[in-house]
């Protein structure tokens, strides 16, 4: 059978998953009367809630086109650079890719990121200009931007000769010519079959079995499942195989218990096995992981694995030691937390976990705040209680000069014209450099900057406030540069509870003039817990438990009833971005609390004096 392996790559929210939905529907994967869900590939709870793709997923469709019946293995990839580790590995097991670009937004930071990875691997992308039916779409401008990007990224003459197609993934049509509209995605299917070469590995069917593991997951019945493309030979249930690490060292031996092939949205066992070139999942090994080579017993050399970009952000995850610890979660021990973090690092190669000098604390490094936030949110839903520190950037030293280097990011901001001044002013104060600025349609301005990663930590909330929620900020890691010096990111002070107990409405009502509350009435608090933001720059210890004193002259019904302003409850990402170096976020399955590292106010003041 004809076979094609492709990946769908794009900037976040340019329509990858929606397009895959339409490809599945039009290839006959769903029955005519079958109930389907929107964004079928986003099966993870957080993916559906956030509206983004976090984990790369495989699917397969049969297309009956001009060249006869062709099986197309399609991999839907994440758009956020935080999950770029997935994209890098995925591109290593496909023979072509479709790069989607929004016909209105045009080229964005992650477009540059994913395209760079594809070109580096020698793939010849198909350009799909998506959402051409949007009111301010400009396909010709986007096509020119894309060509300039290909050239700037060092594309070869062969890669520069890329085919392009116009599409509306939401409405399920694609056309090679805007003047000749189409009603289906048939032109895109045919373009994929014509332009993407069949797997070169198909010629190696008679050689010994060999496959590079690219994705890993656990199944309660089958155990560890490893997904990848078969480089040579056949994968048949019962075949004796071994696993080799990157250096060719043997990790374990075993037998293939199941070979699972992707058929539509389902993963089905195939007893006759799978041949070289096909993308399959294999069960039967217990130690092999991502980037390991699964091969026949006679082979000794490992397949080359794609190097992964280093982490740029880290945070400390420690055991929750607050006075309310252990009341809402059942996974609170350090060994359980360590095992969960190591399991994550095993399946997600972009995350690095190391033990710290402190007892019961681990340093978790990743690509960005979103990636780390998703990990902590998953742990929270699994019943874990942990304490999280403020994110820090990962510095490194220049091997030649010994100079301290810090990560720099490319930032692209689309904002209403009236807010450009405040955005540029705030980011310039944070050591960002303005690279370009120009109109992006309908009263909006696009600002392109180069900024240190550490100056963007905690800026997202401030940015949304400054732009009244209308601004869109996109960022992607670019390179390392010399340390740019201290950045003044003065935050307002906080209101800190000075005792343990339950908050009283009367006390909070009196404290409202001091600042913004993070807690409501009747909530458990403890000494050192942050209950609100001070209106001034200094921290203030307050008593949120103080009740109204009643006498026979002052009855409880005498005064007007207390009316509290609803508290501002930060989300997990907002809380992580908000805290300072001497503060922690307490995360439990039911609550997100902010607290000082040192709960006792006397000890806190003593430490400040010592540091001064």
Give the DSSP H/E element, type plus range, for residue 85: helix 84-91
pLDDT at 49: 56
Q: Which residue has the tokens 């799909």?
A: 128
Residue 243 CA to chain centroid, in angstroms?
29
Q: Is 608 helix (H, G, I), strand (E, B) or coil?
A: helix
Q: What share of the chain is helix, strand, coil (3-state, %, to 5)?
A: 25, 30, 45
Residue 126 CA to chain centroid, in angstroms?
24
Supply the angle between the helices 369-381 and 334-347 in degrees, to the nearest 10: 130
Which of 254, 247, 244, 388 has the alpha carbon at shortest distance from 314? Answer: 388
Q: Which residue has the tokens 């300039």?
A: 148
pLDDT at 33: 42
Which of 273, 376, 369 has the alpha carbon at shortest distance from 318? Answer: 376
- Model pLDDT for residues 207-221, shown as the tens digit of each residue: 999 999 888 887 788
Give the DSSP H/E element, type plus range, for residue 87: helix 84-91
pTM across the whole model: 0.77
In angstroms, the CA 187 to CA 183 distance is 10
Q: Is 40 helix (H, G, I), strand (E, B) or coil?
A: coil
Contacting residues for 230 by C-beta, under 8 A, at least 6 apart: 201, 209, 210, 211, 274, 275, 276, 277, 278, 279, 280
Structure token digits, residue 356: 């710290």
Residue 184: pLDDT over 50: yes
In angstroms, the CA 276 to CA 233 distance is 5
pLDDT at 166: 93
In angstroms, the CA 325 to CA 320 distance is 6
Band of residue 29 on the pLDDT scale cut at 50, 70, 90: low
Inter-residue contact 507 to 524 (CB < 8 Å) = no
Please write down the HEC assignment for all residues of 292-349.
CEEEECCCCCCCCCCCCCCCCEEEEEEECCCCCCCCCCCECCHHHHHHHHHHHHHHCC
Q: Which residue has the tokens 């001044």?
A: 421
Instruction: List, in sequence order, every residue forming a beta bridge with 517; answer none if it has no partner.
Output: 532
pLDDT at 86: 66
In angstroms, the CA 322 to CA 85 distance is 35
Contacting residues for 23 by C-beta, under 8 A, at least 6 apart: 61, 74, 185, 188, 189
Q: Which residue has the tokens 């720059």?
A: 537
pLDDT at 214: 85
Residue 128: pLDDT over 90: yes
DSSP 513: G
Residue 36: pLDDT over 80: no
DSSP 200: G
Average pLDDT over residues 353-362: 86
DSSP 105: T
Please tell me which residue, 431 or 78, carries the higher pLDDT value: 431
pLDDT at 40: 46
Compute the mean pLDDT over every residue in the chain, rounded to the nearest whole number.
84
Band of residue 238 on the pLDDT scale cut at 50, 70, 90: very high
Average pLDDT over residues 231-251: 90
- Residue 18 phi, psi (nearest 5): -65, -40
pLDDT at 30: 53
Band of residue 356 on the pLDDT scale cut at 50, 70, 90: confident
Inter-residue contact 491 to 580 (CB < 8 Å) = yes
Residue 37: pLDDT over 50: no
Inter-residue contact 29 to 9 (CB < 8 Å) = no
Band of residue 89 on the pLDDT scale cut at 50, 70, 90: confident
In angstroms, the CA 414 to CA 291 distance is 38
Average pLDDT over residues 585-605: 90
Average pLDDT over residues 219-242: 89
pLDDT at 525: 93
Looking at the chain, the whole-number percentage of residues with pLDDT higher than 70 is 90
Domains of the chain: 2-198 (3.40.50.300), 202-296 (2.40.30.10), 397-482 (3.30.70.240), 494-611 (2.40.50.250)
pLDDT at 385: 93
Q: How many Cβ atoms sit within 10 Å of the Cβ of residue 339?
A: 12
Please tell me which residue, 12 or 148, carries the higher pLDDT value: 148
Structure token digits, residue 437: 């600025």
Please write down the HEC assignment for all residues of 523-584.
CEECCCEEEEEECCCCCEEECCCCCCCCCCCCCCCCCCCCCCCCCCCCCHHHHHHHCCCCEE
pLDDT at 491: 75
Whole-Å CA distances, 508 to 249, 316, 497, 523: 63, 32, 11, 11
In angstroms, the CA 337 to CA 371 distance is 18
Average pLDDT over residues 600-610: 83
Average pLDDT over residues 522-550: 88
The lowest-confidence range among 50-64, 153-167, 343-357, 371-385 is: 50-64
Q: How many Cβ atoms sit within 10 Å of the Cβ of residue 441?
A: 16
Q: Which residues of 137-172 are buried (b: 16+ CB within 10 A; e: fewer)?
A: bbbeebbeebeebbeeeebeeebeebebbbbbbbeb
């Amino acid at each position: 059978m004809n076979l094609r392996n492709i990946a769908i790559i794009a900037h976040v929210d340019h329509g990858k998953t929606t397009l895959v939905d339409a490809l599945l529907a039009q290839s006959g994967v769903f029955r005519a009367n079958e109930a389907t869900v929107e964004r079928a590939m986003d099966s993870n709870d957080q993916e559906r809630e956030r509206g983004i793709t976090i984990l790369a997923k495989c699917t397969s469709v049969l297309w009956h086109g001009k060249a006869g019946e062709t099986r197309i293995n399609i991999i839907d990839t994440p758009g956020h650079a935080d999950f770029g580790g997935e994209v890098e590995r995925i591109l290593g097991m496909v023979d072509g890719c479709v790069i989607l670009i929004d016909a209105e937004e045009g080229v964005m930071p992650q477009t540059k990121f994913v395209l760079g990875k594809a070109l580096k691997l020698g793939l010849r992308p198909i350009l799909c200009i998506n959402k051409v039916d949007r009111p301010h779409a400009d396909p010709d401008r986007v096509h020119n931007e894309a060509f300039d990007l290909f050239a700037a990224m060092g594309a070869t003459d062969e890669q520069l000769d890329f085919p392009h197609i116009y599409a509306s993934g939401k409405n399920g049509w694609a056309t090679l010519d805007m003047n000749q509209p189409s009603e289906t995605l048939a032109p895109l299917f045919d373009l994929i079959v014509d332009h993407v070469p069949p797997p070169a590995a198909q010629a190696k069917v008679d050689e010994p079995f060999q496959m590079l593991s690219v994705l890993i997951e656990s199944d309660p019945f089958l155990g560890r499942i490893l997904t990848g493309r078969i480089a040579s030979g056949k994968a048949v249930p019962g075949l004796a195989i071994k696993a080799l690490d990157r250096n060719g060292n043997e990790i374990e031996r075993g037998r293939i218990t199941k070979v699972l092939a992707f058929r539509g949205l389902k993963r089905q066992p195939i007893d006759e096995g799978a041949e070289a070139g096909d993308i399959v999942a294999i069960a039967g090994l217990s130690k092999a992981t991502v980037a390991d080579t699964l091969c026949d017993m006679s082979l000794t050399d490992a397949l080359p694995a794609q190097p992964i970009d280093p982490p740029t952000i880290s945070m400390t995850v420690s055991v929750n030691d607050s006075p309310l610890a252990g009341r809402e979660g059942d996974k609170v021990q350090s060994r359980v937390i360590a095992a969960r973090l190591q399991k994550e690092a095993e399946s997600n190669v972009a995350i690095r976990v190391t033990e710290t000098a402190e007892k019961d604390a681990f340093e978790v490094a990743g690509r960005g705040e979103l990636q780390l936030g998703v990990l902590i949110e998953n742990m929270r839903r699994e019943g874990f209680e942990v304490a999280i520190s403020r994110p820090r950037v990962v510095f490194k030293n220049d091997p030649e000069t010994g100079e301290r280097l810090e990560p720099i990011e490319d930032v692209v901001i689309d904002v209403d014209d009236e807010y450009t001044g405040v955005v540029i002013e705030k980011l310039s104060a944070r050591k960002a450099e303005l690279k370009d600025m120009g109109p992006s349609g309908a009263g909006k301005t696009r600002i392109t900057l180069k900024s240190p990663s550490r100056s963007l930590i905690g800026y997202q909330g401030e940015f949304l406030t400054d732009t009244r929620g209308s601004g869109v900020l996109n960022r992607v890691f670019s390179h390392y540069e010399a340390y740019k010096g201290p950045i003044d990111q003065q935050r307002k002070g906080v209101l800190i509870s000075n005792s343990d107990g339950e908050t009283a409405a009367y006390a909070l009502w009196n404290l409202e003039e001091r600042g913004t509350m993070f807690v409501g009435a009747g909530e458990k608090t403890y000494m050192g817990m942050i209950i609100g933001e001070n209106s001034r720059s200094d921290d203030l210890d307050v008593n949120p438990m103080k009740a109204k004193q009643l006498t026979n002259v002052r009855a409880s019904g005498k005064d007007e009833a207390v009316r509290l302003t609803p508290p501002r409850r930060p989300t997990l990402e907002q809380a992580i971005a908000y805290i300072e170096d001497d503060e922690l976020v307490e995360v439990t399955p039911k609550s997100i609390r902010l607290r000082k590292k040192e709960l006792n106010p006397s000890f806190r003041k003593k430490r400040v004096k010592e540091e001064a």
